[in-house]
Amino acid sequence: MPRDAFSHVSAWVFDLDNTLYPPTARLFDQIEIRMTQYVMDALGVGQAEADRLRRQYWATYGTTLAGLMREHDVDPAPYLTDVHDISLDHLETDAELAAHIRALPGRRIVYTNGSAPYAERVLAARGLEGLFNAIYGVEHAGFRPKPEREAFEEVFETDGINPVEAAMFEDDPRNLAAPHDMGMRTVLVAEDPHDADHIHYHTDDLTAFLRRLT
């Protein structure tokens, strides 16, 4: 990876879940259980149907919440509080990752389809608090989720980011399509590579990737 491929970047945008912590922490296993239970309670359906709807809404709308809002008029605020009420005991601090994020030139933000308060808890548990200029959750995009381009546009406009001078780090390939189209440098952070024109780089180790940039 040529370092000069990022020489123009003055804004660094990081997803949260399975990006700023490793998937082996399995936080989303806890979140998925709570999402399924929330769907059961909100819609009065059994576990199998709730689990099916959770997956269907994620695939169709980008998040389970987006589907619940569009098809069932579910209030997003209680949902976000409930599903993110999980244990972070499996997270470990990562001093090297923190050092490399701190060394990135320019503005650094977190943008997640989760909530900002949840992101703040995760960052603290990883020893990454105080490294970012801003933290944005789905609530800052009017509850529109990634991968919707309008969601990115609202967050970037709020933050004053020029996409052509920015880079996006994400674990979900589809969430890099809009950033690529907006002119961002895109990095997939995932175990397996994904062959798509909208992904410039792939890494299964964010710390190692950033080490080559700083």
Kindly indicate whether the domain formed by 27-83 is annotated with CATH number 3.40.50.720.
no
The model's pLDDT over 123-180, given as tens digits with 9 standing for 90+, comes to 999 999 999 999 999 999 999 999 999 999 999 999 999 999 999 999 999 999 999 9
DSSP the chain: --GGGGTT--EEEE--TTTTS-GGG-HHHHHHHHHHHHHHHHHT--HHHHHHHHHHHHHHHSSHHHHHHHHH---HHHHHHHHT----TT----HHHHHHHHTSSSEEEEE-SS-HHHHHHHHHHTT-TT--SEEE-GGGGTTPPTT-HHHHHHHHHHHT--GGGEEEEESSGGGGHHHHHTT-EEEEESSS----TT--EEES-HHHHHHTT-
The hierarchical CATH code for the domain 3-21+93-211 is 3.40.50.1000
pTM, two decimal places: 0.94
The yes-or-no answer to whether 3-21+93-211 and 27-83 have a common fold is no
Q: Could you tell me which of 4, 33, 13, 38 has the C-alpha nearest to residue 170?
A: 13
Q: Could you tell me which of 86, 77, 72, 80 has the C-alpha nearest to residue 33?
A: 86
d(CA 83, CA 32): 8
The model's pLDDT over 88-131, given as tens digits with 9 standing for 90+, comes to 998 999 999 999 999 999 999 999 999 999 999 999 999 999 99
Q: Where are the domains of the chain?
A: 3-21+93-211, 27-83
